[in-house]
Amino acid sequence: MPASQPNQAASDRIHITRPDDWHLHVRDGQALDTVVPHTAAQFARAIIMPNLKPPVTTVEQALDYAARIRAAVPTGNPFTPLMTLYLTDRIAPQEIRRASATRSTGLGDMVVAAKLYPAGATTNSDAGVTDIRLIYPVLEAMQKEGLLLLVHGEVTSPDIDLFDREAVFIDQQLIPLRRDFPELRIVMEHITTKEAAQYIAEAGPHTAATITAHHLLFNRNAIFTGGIRPHYYCLPVLKREVHRQALVAAATSGDPHFFLGTDSAPHPAHLKEHASGCAGCYTAHAALEMYAQAFDETGALDRLEAFASFHGPDFYRLPRNSGSVTLERRAWQAPQAYPFGDAELKPLLGGELLPWKLLDR
């Protein structure tokens, strides 16, 4: 039927404004050489998580780290890392003012946010905050300076069931925090539950959330299909199908408070395939392809651009990117593993067919 052909063609290839990744782990040292080019091939900018060992707690450390990341970007690629500070019980408000100053010069790399890890919540979070009230002067400074607060939203108490830790965090920590700092821009990172999606949708103009591709594609069964599958283990952990559906609804709703953040979190394969395997899914090699698949499965490809390319910069008050990327409906297979320093990195869905492919720049 000739009349349907243009539609057919349009849905087999989509062009979107070049997107950004608003939550990313790239690690340090040799690991950068593997993972930074993957992200730089897809995204113009990425919010770089500060949970190194030791953590990135000063502006000086953040800017040095940015330089090491830039050194791993392929020549000619304009990728820009956006840096963050790791909040500890002892960080001084002065450091926030220094961070804020990096944004006003317009020269060099910027520190745009600080990350709150409840101590012990996830990978390299031991130095995190033990009690939010200890950092109230710092949050005051962030609110004043317009630095964003990025939150790993899980309580850490062993008494709370692992699958309930996000919902409990919202009630016990986030709601009081939101009330005490009404102008602070807060991003709840990598949300995984219907409770979080609902909270964000109703929390007003200064609260947003990132959503990963893997939480849109999988529910918790993926961790246990035919045996324990450590490459599907991340924190916050995958949840029930009802939660996955709520995340898909939020991501495809057009609500500007939801945007793309992969939480791509590389670990050496031998430390994931381990008696006490590390949390984190590596998705940077095929991030946009996975998001396209998730949006396509629910008939919402037309909503992908706003989620991936508009809502993030608008919330961060940064310019949207120019230029575009093209995704094509063409099955391909990602490698099973990449070299990762002296180890191997096994990407999520490595060796399996992905229905969408990002075309080269």
Residue numbers at the binding site for ligand NCD (CB under 6 A): 25, 51, 122-123, 152, 234-235, 263, 265, 279-280
Closest CB 110 distance from ligand NCD, rounded Å: 21
Closest CB 219 distance from ligand NCD, rounded Å: 16
Cβ neighbour number for residue 249 with a 10 Å cutoff: 16
State which residue, 166 or 263, has the beta carbon closest to Zn ion.
263
Question: Which residue among the candidates 180, 263, 296, 342 is catalytic per the annotation?
Answer: 263
Rounded CA-CA distance 163/176 in Å is 22
Active site residue 33: no
State which residue, 214 or 357, has the beta carbon closest to ligand NCD.
214
State which residue, 156 or 245, has the beta carbon closest to ligand NCD.
156
Strand residues in the chain grouped as ranges (E)? 13-17, 21-24, 45-48, 80-86, 111-116, 148-151, 186-188, 207-211, 258-260, 324-333, 338-340, 343-345, 353-358
Identity of the residue numbered 111: V
Closest CB 184 distance from ligand NCD, rounded Å: 21
State which residue, 28 or 89, has the beta carbon closest to ligand NCD.
28
List contacts with Zn ion (CB under 5 A): 263
Closest CB 237 distance from Zn ion, rounded Å: 13
* Coil, helix or strand at residue 130: coil
Cβ–Cβ under 8 Å, residues 216 and 251: yes
Query: ∠ CA 220-225-229 to the nearest 5 degrees?
Result: 80
Per partner kind, with CB cut-offs from 5 to 8 A, the member of ligand NCD, Zn ion, none near residue 235 is ligand NCD
Burial class, 235, CB count within 10 angstroms (exposed 0-12 / middle 13-18 / buried 19+): buried
Per partner kind, with CB cut-offs from 5 to 8 A, the member of Zn ion, ligand NCD, none near residue 350 is none
- Enumerate the active-site residues: 263
